[in-house]
Amino acid sequence: MIIVINTYIKVNLFGKTNFIMTKLKLLTVLGMICGNIFMLTAQDISAVISTRSIAIQPELTEWRRHFHQHPELGNGEIKTAAYIVEQLKGLDLEIQTGVAKTGVVAILKGGKPGPVIALRADMDALPVKERVNIPFASTDSGMYAGNKVPLMHACGHDAHVAMLIGAAKVLSSMKKDIAGTVKFIFQPAEEGPPPGEEGGAALMVKEGVMENPKVHVIFGMHIESWIPAGDIQYKSGSFMASADQFTISVKGKSSHGSQPWLGVDPIAVSAQIIEGLQNIVSRQMELTKAPVVISVGIIKSGVRFNIIPEESYMEGTLRTLDSKMRIDVQERMKLTATKIAEASSASAEIIFHEKTLVTYNTPELVEKMLPSLQAAAGSNNVRPMEWVTGAEDFSYFGTKAPAFFFYFGGMPRGNDAKNAPPHHTPDFMIDDSQLFVGVKTFCQLVFDYPKTIGK
């Protein structure tokens, strides 16, 4: 028999936060107080997850703001990793450090047999000078490309780490009811490692983070400054674009600026190549199938106004949302660059550097786990969205196991998304008052996924 308490009960959770609950099932309350001696129903589990996630909101805020005030670049998250380990101590976790240089992996073994479920958060910041007037604004600096630069968590990774620590804390307190094993992955260098170094998710996968124990499924989220705080948006299938950096070197023949016919102008050739690349997108690709973006971000050539140089150099990014289209576009870019150059008696070489793959959400997994997102955030606060030309190296984890990556809101409710400060800018800002919803979501996924196996 389940007894319902209609009076108010004051509960102290984790020895810190007091709050009032009402109409909780006695079984749930006893489970919370007595360390889960009793078996809990699915409804009880959700109630405990919600209660404990709400209870640690003050800590979530504290953790997130600590990380925000002390940002570190990719492969250099030494203090960040140490702080994470400090918060995980005493949670009955197997903790590994130095994974993919500065990453942290923590393993929680549940009280029941089941799958291995991975949860991931990225740790690194960006070389951006913060312009937001907040008391915990970053004033730190670091070295980037040989230069001393200001640092800022301008993409929300500080919130990701805080939510994953919170999930580890809540799930550790409920380990007897967990079916399987949870692997918490704190990943460095999502924004990319320093030039010449390996790093990020690709290196973690290379070092075997998805093995020992072998991961059956992985979940991740990214906070967004334009989605209302606490809301979730997702897309099944291809979600975020692959990212390839490309370089194009054009070789011509130098001459005096007044006599261009005596040389081969690599700048003029480069201009034609740039136009040709855009024609690939607008005239050669089936854009109703999937978007394609080609952008040239750097062009360098020449030293003086009246000298036609011998060489020109370009760098840019290719974004695709279909793996076959990605290969097709690369081949077309090579053909376009080399043939345009040849037509002017110049030569061109194009080289691609893979940054990320397409972030692909396994459709069957999305369908099965959508109710978990709705249970955590509220069904009215979970919505589908279109694909994104931004990229995420979470995509590498998806090559080893079914994956589901979604967006989590960080915009103050009532604000206009059109005015939200973009990511990777000095004005980036999020509302961290709803981070507990992200913790609820991670925890709900962990408890619900084992029930879907075989369905």
pLDDT above 60 for 27: no
Q: What is the pLDDT of residue 24?
A: 42
At residue 7 the predicted structure's pLDDT band, cuts being 50, 70 and 90, is: very low
pLDDT for 213-262, tens place per residue?
Answer: 999 999 999 999 999 999 999 999 999 999 999 999 999 999 999 999 99
Q: Inter-axis angle of helices 157-172 and 78-88, to 10 degrees?
A: 20
Residue 177, SS3 per DSSP? helix
359-382 mean pLDDT: 98
Confidence at 22, pLDDT banded by 50, 70, 90: very low
Q: Note the pLDDT tens digit of each residue in 50-87.
A: 999 999 999 999 999 999 999 999 999 999 999 999 99
Nearest 5°: the CA angle 402, 406, 411 is 170
What is the 8-class DSSP label of residue 4? Answer: B
> Could you tell me the domains of the chain?
8-53 (no CATH), 60-235+385-452 (3.40.630.10), 243-356 (3.30.70.360)
